[in-house]
Amino acid sequence: MQHSVTFPSGKVDYLFQPKEQAGKDPFAALSTSYNKQHMVIITNDHLAKLYEPLFKGYKTLVIPAHESSKDLHTIETLSKQLLQLEAGRNTLLVGVGGGVVTDIVGFLASVYMRGVAFGFVPTTLLGMVDAAIGGKNGVNLGLNKNLLGTIHQPDFILYDVNFLQTLPNIEWSNGFAEVIKYACIFDVELFEELSNNNISFYKHDHNALLALIEKCVAWKNKTVIVDEQETGVRKLLNFGHTAAHAIENLYELPHGKAVAIGMVIACMISQDVAGLDKEATVKLKKLLQQYHLPVSQSIDPRHTMDVLRMDKKRKDDKIDYIVLEHIGMAVIHALPFSVIENALTAYASHN
The catalytic residue positions are 114, 136, 178, 220, 230, 234, 238, 241, 245, 255
What whole-number distance in Å separates Cα of residue 34 and Cα of residue 317? 48
Which helix (DSSP H) or strand (DSSP E) does residue 99 occupy?
Answer: helix 99-111
Which distant-in-sequence residues (6+ apart) come within 8 Å of 81 by Cβ?
Answer: 61
What whole-number distance in Å separates Cα of residue 136 and Cα of residue 147? 11
Q: Provide the strand spans (E) within 134-274.
A: 136-141, 144-151, 156-159
**In which region does residue 319 sit, left (phi positive, over 0), alpha (psi from -120 to 50) or beta (all else)?**
beta
Which distant-in-sequence residues (6+ apart) come within 8 Å of 107 by Cβ?
Answer: 75, 137, 138, 139, 148, 149, 150
Q: In what order do the strands lie in the sheet with 314-315?
A: 314-315, 318-326, 329-336
Which distant-in-sequence residues (6+ apart) come within 8 Å of 208 by Cβ?
Answer: 197, 201, 202
Q: Provide the strand spans (E) within 129-235.
A: 136-141, 144-151, 156-159
Give residue 308's identity as a one-letter amino acid code.
L
> What dihedral angle (degrees, nearest 10) is formed by the CA atoms of 278, 279, 284, 285?
80
